[in-house]
Amino acid sequence: MADTNRKIQELLSDYAGALRDGCLPVFLKSLTRQEGETMTCSDDFWEAAQVVRVLNGVGFADKAAIADAGLFASRVDANIASRLKKAKSSPRARRTNGARSTTRTRKAEKPI
């Protein structure tokens, strides 16, 4: 991807390669302003990009090393537990649970 003025077919080829290798950010960072404009103006590029994504799913997803669903379910459960914990400890939740700020209770006390 050293070329800085790639034509549309080269851009598509690099996009397809990046998608296949799982390094899309590298491709995105390699784009110059001119290449970005070339992509914007080309309808063919966007049509071909759709097929490239489909080919990526059909051709390579089966070969990918995908984790076990049972193990992944426990990861999801941990994510949910952390969301629950966060929701319970958020300041708004604490206030609605009956905890008041100390300044407020002091004001309510009678001065001696």
Partner 1 sequence: MNRRLRNALKGLTAPDDDRRRRAMEPFVRETFQMFIRYLYRYLGNEVECEDVLEDVYGDIWQNPDRLRDVESERQLLRTVYLYYMRKRLREVYRTMNRHLYLSQNDLTNLTAPELGLLDKMSQSELKQALGRALGRLKARERRAIELWLEGMSVRAIANELKTTVGAVKMLKFRTILKLKKMMSEYCHEE
Q: Is 38 in the site for partner 1 (CB under 8 A)?
A: no
3 is written with which tokens? 């070329």
- Residue range at the interface with partner 1 (CB under 8 A); choices 78-86, 90-98, 101-109: 78-86
**How many residues contact partner 1, by CB under 8 A?**
58
12 is written with which tokens? 């598509």
Give, as ranges, the residues between 93 and 112 that touch partner 1 (CB under 8 A).
none
In the complex, the smallest distance separating the C-beta of residue 21 from partner 1, rounded to whole angstroms, is 7
Distance between CA atoms of residues 79 and 19, nearest Å: 27
Give me the amino acid identity at 75: R
Residue 27 makes CB contacts below 8 A (sequence gap 6+) with 1, 14, 15, 17, 18, 19
The contact set with partner 1 (CB under 8 A) reads 8-10, 12-13, 15-25, 28-29, 31-33, 35-36, 39-40, 44, 46-62, 64-67, 69-70, 72-73, 75-77, 79-80, 83-84
